[in-house]
């Protein structure tokens, strides 16, 4: 038979902004539901020797309709709906035809391969959210970070992801899903490499920001990209399965941190200026999902739906044929023929403007024109989200994304902070207080920890090669003492008198002596920088909480995936958010460390279903030309809410637990109620 690809004809008139691809078929489509007859000599070896009349569909005896019959009935229903409608737009016509094509291509090997590749990209985004929190206990010692610097480091990643989601989501609708995703993954890999070697706080902060800007664009692109290879009845379920990679990213980050960071031998140093401790190895290992996704994307094609939207007919046809042939060969039916001969596709004037302008001038001028034009088109696309047809949906989705992120990320920060606070309170309750002790000519060769010494006298004593942790000397006298090779944490001298004393190779700097009188005191060869505490600074509980919180979402992921297409997106989102709001009140019942971990696992397990539903419906509410842009804008709002929520909730740690619980409850209830106002999209083709 003749190859429909070589027989295609492309026409474009002055008054028609749509191209005609190939020879017209029935009802204006070049789409054939029946495969063309093959000559007897061309019969497949697979079917040789079989009588078609003797073959029977195995489900026929059970009254189960054949999949082809279901597919034909579904197409007939959509065709009937089109004929009954007053008028069908070209966009809707293309969407219906594309859905028919994807049904004919089937769901198989191609989609599962793409599923793994895009899942790794989503996993890289999840790892980026965890990496700073997991390395901070070690990095703060390695780089001598203040409380303000630690807070900025925690927020800078989300700030970068906020801008990245907005920028790359908009560009993905104009430049391409695959191309933008490759760039953002490359940015994440490069910045992870350089940040692992950065010795100063400023450089480390910059590279984490750069990494956030890169990987922040992955989420909008991944969901838009994958959804355009899925048929309608598979879309909700498989997009929900894709969300499981975010859980896997959290498990991967916490598990590798648990296995690497405490291993202090996994590093090296070059003098005192360059230190490469184990936490830096962990930062490198966290880039592996992004590297794997980057390599996998080299073998994946661009979204054909995006190409059709941008009038790239030949490329889209070839990719759709690749999807069709890959799936049916894997299913053992290589004789199936891709029968599409005509696809209706729009051609926008903005794209022609880029082509005309970039064909003239110098390379720099062409770059400037293309950049300015892309910026203009992206901003125009963003503003179109608030047009009359999309304004209500965008407003509702923005509120739902905000309330969900505000509560989820706020509590995600608050839970571990409260655990640390309870640990600190327990630690302080065990403090040892020494009053009016007098020690003369004594050699302190053992570490001091969690002690307060009041009004003591230390005459001609030696403190050599010891650690001081959470030690405070108040109103004490030191005369002719000698301090050597001292490492301290949270150790201060307050209102003390120190005479004729030498501090040699210690980190007891003058700022640790508060309102003290220093007479004939010498500081020699002070230790530079901060120093890791090999045993105490990396509490296993930090990794355990992250691990359990990530693992707890597994049941919610499975349930939401199985029921997303059965009960609908709206009920999943609304129900999950309202149940999550109820879970927050369990925090009033018990407030021990074990109880907080249990409530965190419960909350994460319930709320993940809402996240899955929100991401699925965001993809389905917007047309192809605005899908990634809308997802990027809403994801940027999500990251802004995360910054706001984590900052507000953290400020109440140690003060009150009532306000964070009430804030999360009110936000989740408001978002859950508004979610019920959204239109259901499970039986809607992607426009």
Q: What is the pLDDT of residues 234-250, one digit of tens each?
A: 888 899 999 889 889 98
Model pLDDT for residues 376-407, shown as the tens digit of each residue: 888 988 898 888 888 899 999 999 999 999 99
Model pLDDT for residues 328-353, shown as the tens digit of each residue: 888 888 888 888 777 766 655 444 44
pLDDT at 38: 41
Angle at 402 between CA 400 and CA 403, to 5 degrees: 70
State yes or no: pLDDT of 17 exceeds 50. Answer: no
Residues 6+ apart with CB under 8 A from 340: 4, 22, 30, 31, 32, 101, 104, 317, 320, 321
Give the CA distances from residue 7 to residues 1, 3, 307, 312, 467, in Å, rounded to whole numbers and listed in that order: 11, 7, 20, 17, 82
pLDDT at 511: 80
pLDDT at 532: 43
In this prediction, residues 66-74 reach a mean pLDDT of 57
Give 414-448 as a 3 state SS string: HHHHHHHHHHHHHHHHCCEEEECCEEECCEECCCE
Tokens representing residue 385 in the block: 């989200």
Of 158, 173, 122, 157, which Cα lies nearest the Cα of 630?
Answer: 173
pLDDT at 413: 83
User: What DSSP letter does each residue of 615-639 carry, written as one string?
Assistant: HHHHHHHS-TTTHHHHHHHHHHHHH
- The β-bridge partners of 440 are 459
Q: Are 542 and 593 in contact (CB under 8 A)?
A: no
State yes or no: pLDDT of 465 exceeds 70. Answer: yes
State yes or no: pLDDT of 501 exceeds 80. Answer: yes
State yes or no: pLDDT of 269 exceeds 80. Answer: no
State yes or no: pLDDT of 233 exceeds 50. Answer: yes
State yes or no: pLDDT of 173 exceeds 70. Answer: yes
- Give percent of the chain above pLDDT 90: 26
pLDDT at 272: 54
Angle at 234 between CA 233 and CA 240, to 5 degrees: 130
State yes or no: pLDDT of 20 exceeds 50. Answer: no
Which stretches does DSSP call E strand in 191-289? Answer: 268-270, 274-276
Model pLDDT for residues 545-572, shown as the tens digit of each residue: 778 888 888 888 888 888 888 888 899 9
C-alpha span between 214 and 207 (Å, rounded): 10
State yes or no: pLDDT of 34 exceeds 60. Answer: no
Q: Please, which pLDDT band fits residue 101 given cuts at 50, 70 and 90?
A: confident
pLDDT at 85: 53
Of 132, 128, 130, 122, which Cα lies nearest the Cα of 246?
Answer: 122
Of 560, 655, 570, 563, which Cα lies nearest the Cα of 608?
Answer: 560
Q: Please, which pLDDT band fits residue 475 given cuts at 50, 70 and 90?
A: very high
C-alpha span between 388 and 395 (Å, rounded): 12
Lowest mean pLDDT among 16-20, 456-460, 642-646: 16-20
pLDDT at 478: 93
Half-sphere exposure of 28 (CA within 13 A, CB side): 11
State yes or no: pLDDT of 225 exceeds 90. Answer: yes
State yes or no: pLDDT of 264 exceeds 60. Answer: no
In 494-626, which ranges are continuous DSSP H helix? 540-551, 554-567, 569-584, 593-621
pLDDT at 15: 38
State yes or no: pLDDT of 42 exceeds 50. Answer: no
pLDDT at 403: 93
State yes or no: pLDDT of 297 exceeds 70. Answer: yes
pLDDT at 131: 85
C-alpha span between 526 and 510 (Å, rounded): 10
State yes or no: pLDDT of 220 exceeds 80. Answer: yes
Mean pLDDT in the chain? 79
Beta strand 477-479 with 443-444 is unpaired
**Three-state SS at 50:** coil
pLDDT at 394: 92
C-alpha span between 111 and 335 (Å, rounded): 20
**Three-state SS at 599:** helix
Exposure class string for 174-211: b at 16+ Cβ within 10 A, else e = bbbbbebbbbbbebbbbbbeebbebeebeebbbbbbbb
pLDDT at 554: 87
Crossing angle of helices 569-584 and 554-567, in 10° steps, is: 140
Between 227 and 536, name the one with better pLDDT: 227
Terminal Cα-to-Cα distance of the chain (whole angstroms): 33
pTM, entire model = 0.78
pLDDT at 41: 41
pLDDT at 39: 40
- The β-bridge partners of 466 are 486
- The β-bridge partners of 502 are 482, 522
Q: Please, which pLDDT band fits residue 266 given cuts at 50, 70 and 90?
A: low
pLDDT at 341: 75
Residues 6+ apart with CB under 8 A from 456: 434, 435, 436, 437, 438, 439, 473, 476, 477
Distance of CA 507 to the CA centre of its chain: 40
């Amino acid at each position: 038979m003749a190859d429909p690809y070589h027989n295609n004809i492309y026409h474009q008139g002055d008054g028609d902004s749509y191209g005609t691809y190939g020879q017209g078929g029935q009802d204006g489509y070049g789409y054939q539901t029946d495969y063309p007859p093959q000559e007897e000599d061309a019969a497949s070896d697979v079917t040789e020797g079989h009588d078609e009349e003797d073959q029977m569909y195995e489900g026929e005896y059970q009254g189960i309709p054949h999949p082809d019959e279901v597919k034909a009935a579904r197409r007939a229903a959509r065709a009937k709906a089109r004929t009954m409608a007053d008028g069908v737009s070209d966009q809707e016509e293309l969407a219906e035809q594309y859905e028919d094509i994807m049904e004919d291509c089937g769901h198989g090997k191609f989609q599962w391969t793409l599923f793994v590749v895009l899942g790794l990209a989503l996993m890289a985004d999840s790892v980026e959210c965890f990496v700073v929190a997991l390395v901070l206990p070690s990095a703060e010692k390695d780089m001598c970070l203040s409380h303000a610097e630690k807070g900025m480091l925690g927020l800078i990643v989300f700030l970068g992801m906020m801008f990245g989601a907005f920028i790359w989501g908009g560009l993905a609708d104009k430049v391409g899903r695959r191309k933008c995703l490759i760039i953002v993954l490359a940015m994440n890999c490069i910045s992870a490499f350089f940040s692992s070697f950065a010795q100063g706080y400023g450089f480390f902060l910059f590279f984490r920001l750069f990494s956030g800007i890169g990987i922040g664009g992955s989420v909008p692109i991944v969901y838009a990209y994958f959804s355009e290879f899925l048929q309608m009845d598979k879309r909700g379920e498989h997009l929900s399965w894709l969300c499981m990679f975010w859980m896997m990213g959290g498990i991967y980050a916490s598990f590798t941190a648990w296995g690497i960071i405490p291993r202090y031998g996994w590093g090296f140093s070059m003098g005192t200026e360059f230190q490469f401790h184990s936490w830096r190895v962990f930062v490198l290992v966290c880039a592996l999902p992004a590297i794997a996704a980057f390599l996998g994307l080299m073998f994946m094609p661009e979204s054909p739906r995006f190409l059709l939207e941008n009038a790239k007919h030949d490329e889209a046809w070839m990719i759709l044929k690749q999807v069709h042939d890959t799936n049916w060969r894997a299913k053992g039916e290589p004789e199936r023929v891709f029968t599409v001969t005509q696809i209706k596709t729009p051609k926008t004037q903005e794209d022609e403007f880029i082509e005309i302008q970039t064909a003239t001038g110098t390379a720099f001028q062409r770059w400037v024109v293309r950049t300015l034009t892309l910026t203009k088109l992206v901003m125009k696309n963003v503003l179109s989200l608030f047009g009359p047809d999309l304004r209500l949906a965008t407003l509702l989705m923005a509120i739902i994304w905000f309330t969900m992120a505000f509560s989820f990320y706020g509590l995600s920060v608050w839970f571990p902070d409260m655990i640390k606070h309870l640990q600190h309170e327990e630690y302080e309750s065990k403090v040892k207080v020494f009053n009016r002790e007098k020690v003369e000519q004594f050699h302190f060769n053992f570490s001091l920890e969690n002690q307060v010494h009041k009004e003591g006298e230390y005459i001609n004593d030696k403190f050599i090669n010891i650690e001081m942790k959470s030690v405070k000397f108040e109103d004490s006298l030191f005369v002719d003492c000698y301090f050597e090779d001292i490492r301290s944490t949270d150790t201060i001298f307050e209102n003390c008198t120190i005479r004729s004393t030498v501090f040699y190779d210690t980190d007891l700097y003058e700022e640790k002596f508060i309102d003290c009188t220093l007479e004939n005191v010498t500081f020699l060869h002070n230790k530079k920088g901060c120093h890791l505490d090999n045993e105490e600074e990396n509490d296993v509980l930090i990794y355990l909480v992250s691990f359990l919180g990530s693992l707890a979402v597994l049941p919610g992921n499975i349930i939401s995936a199985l029921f997303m297409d059965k009960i609908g997106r709206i009920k999943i989102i609304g129900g999950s958010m309202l149940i999550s709001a109820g879970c927050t009140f369990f925090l009033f019942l018990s407030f021990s460390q074990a109880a907080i971990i249990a409530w965190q696992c419960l909350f994460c397990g319930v709320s993940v279903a809402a996240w899955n539903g929100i991401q699925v419906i965001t993809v389905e509410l917007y047309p192809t030309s605005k899908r990634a842009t809308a997802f990027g804008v809403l994801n940027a709002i999500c990251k802004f809410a995360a910054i706001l929520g984590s900052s507000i909730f953290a400020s109440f740690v140690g003060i009150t637990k009532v306000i964070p619980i009430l804030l999360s409850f009110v936000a989740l209830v408001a978002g859950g109620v508004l979610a019920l106002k959204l239109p259901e999209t499970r039986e809607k083709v992607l426009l």
